Amino acid sequence: MKIIISSIPEEGLNLQFHKDSDWFRDLLPEKEKSDFSLQKVDVLCAVKKMRETVFIEGNLEATVVSSCSRCLETTQFLIKSTFRYTFVPAKNMLMEEELSPEDLEYGFYQDDVIDLDSLIFEQIVLQIPIKVLCRDTCKGLCPHCGININVANCGCRTEFIDERLAVLKKLKISDNK
């Protein structure tokens, strides 16, 4: 979705839209395609213009599908984000020096257009955790046999603990010498 700046009315624009997984997939860079996918996103935003400066404020709710980084099972989670952007024409690029480099919410537009899609995309990607977990208490996979410990018990775990105890016992013996 693109916003044509000259067509923003005096009173501003209120936009509400819904995007699906195809929309998100098309925006993803090639290498990230397998990491996660989006099920849907709902966006509500208000666009206002003051002379050449455009203000965009809104919120989004998206359902993301990814695999748990511990047990590798597919998991779904909801992300919510509130965003605020200020866009100035690209010809005012010099102004950039006055802005703090951390100020991600500043943007520049060119040719009377703001690409709302890439803005929404950026907001979603920023909200996705680096380590996705199906639940905080996920037990992950058994390091020995690879079974998902959340759903089954393989019995390797006790052996594993025994091994560690054995090492401790040996250490104690050598201490006593």
- Using CA of residue 121, residue 122, residue 123, residue 126, what is the dihedral sign? positive
Quote the least distance from Cβ 163 to Zn ion, whole Å: 13
Nearer to Zn ion, 21 or 148 (CB): 148
Q: Specify the stretch interacting with Zn ion by CB under 5 A; choose among 12-20, 60-68, 98-106, 111-119.
A: 60-68
CB 54 within 8 A of CB 47: yes
Window 69 to 128, contacts with Zn ion (CB under 5 A): 70-71
Applying CB under 5 A, which of residues 1, 90, 145, 161 lies at the interface with Zn ion? Answer: 145
CB 112 within 8 A of CB 90: no
Does 144 engage in binding with Zn ion (CB under 5 A)?
A: yes
What is the 3 state secondary structure string of 125-171? HHHCCCCCCCCCCCCCECCCCCCECCCCCCCHHHHHHHHHHHHHHHH
Nearer to Zn ion, 8 or 65 (CB): 65
Applying CB under 5 A, which of residues 38, 124, 134, 141 lies at the interface with Zn ion? Answer: 134
Does 138 engage in binding with Zn ion (CB under 5 A)?
A: yes
- State how far Cα 174 lies from the chain centre: 51
DSSP state of 9: -
Ranges of H-type helices in 14-155:
21-27, 116-127
Nearer to Zn ion, 67 or 86 (CB): 67
Does 142 engage in binding with Zn ion (CB under 5 A)?
A: yes
Nearer to Zn ion, 135 or 169 (CB): 135
Instruction: Provide the mask over 5-44, with x wherever binding to Zn ion is found by CB under 5 A and - wherever it is not.
Output: ----------------------------------------
Q: How far apart are CA 20 and CA 2, in angstroms?
A: 17
Applying CB under 5 A, which of residues 13, 65, 132, 156 lies at the interface with Zn ion? Answer: 156
Q: Across the strands, what pairs with 59?
A: 44, 82
- Note the residues at the interface with Zn ion (CB under 5 A): 68, 70-71, 134, 138, 142, 144-145, 147, 154, 156
